[in-house]
Amino acid sequence: MTSKKGKKWLMALALATSGLTSVTCTAEPAHRQAPIPVGISIAEEAQFPSAETDIMGFRLCLLYGRHANVSGLDIGVFGCVADGCLFGLQTSGILNSVGSANGALQIAGIASNCLEDFYGAQIAGIANKTDGSVYGGQIGTFNIAKEMGGTQIGVYNKADKAFGVQIGVIYDHSQHEFLRGIADFGYGREEVRWGARTMMQQQPDVDV
């Protein structure tokens, strides 16, 4: 019989892997125009097709590109932006930014950003940031998410609520506490941590 703790870990695993099994973007399109299979951009003012168009296939951003929903392979020298949903691989030398992601992998030399929920993985040389929930993983020096369902690996990991594993040096559970250590295994607020507790935001005592 599965224990209560075992059921919680199974739920955390399901949340972490759900993004990897998604096959389409579910975000509402910002327009009714048919998607274009290939897009190319030098800058937002010099690109084909126009910024409000969906790309379903391949996009090359020679400097910087901005479109609506992007599905497939998205490659940029400096930056790639999808105002809507990303499905597939987005990679650039500096910055990736999407409205949301459903079954996506972001790889950036400096930073990856998502304005809503992200299903998949973000990898960046410096920072990964998702304003919504991440179901999958973040790997970078700084990792920030409102809610994490999966794994964060970095020097600084922040999530208001974590379901899964955080590996790094500093953990910031926002309204809860800061921790320093090697690994932080958690399910919501019922966490088991390996590390040294350095500061409590809401409690007067400090444990070392």
Checking phi first, is residue 86 left (phi over 0); if not, alpha (psi -120 to 50) or beta?
A: beta
pLDDT digits (tens, 9 = 90+) for 126-159: 999 999 999 999 999 999 999 989 999 999 999 8
CA angle 108/109/111 to nearest 5° reads: 60
pLDDT of residue 190: 42
pLDDT digits (tens, 9 = 90+) for 33-86: 789 999 999 988 899 999 999 999 999 999 999 999 999 999 999 999 999 999
Please give the distance of CA 79 from its chain centroid, rounded to a whole number: 16
Q: Which two tokens stand for residue 185?
A: 């295994």
- Which of helix, strand or coil describes residue 78? coil
Cα dist from 73 to 104, 105, 139, 161, 189, whole Å: 10, 10, 20, 31, 38
Mean pLDDT across the stretch 179-188? 52
| C-alpha span between 70 and 58 (Å, rounded) | 8
Evaluate if pTM is beyond 0.85. Answer: no
Strands 55-61 and 36-43, by their bridges, are: parallel
- Which of helix, strand or coil describes residue 177? strand
Q: Which residues of 25-48 are buried (b: 16+ CB within 10 A; e: fewer)?
A: bebeeeeeeebbeebebeeeeebe
pLDDT of residue 110: 98
pLDDT digits (tens, 9 = 90+) for 88-111: 999 999 999 999 999 999 999 999
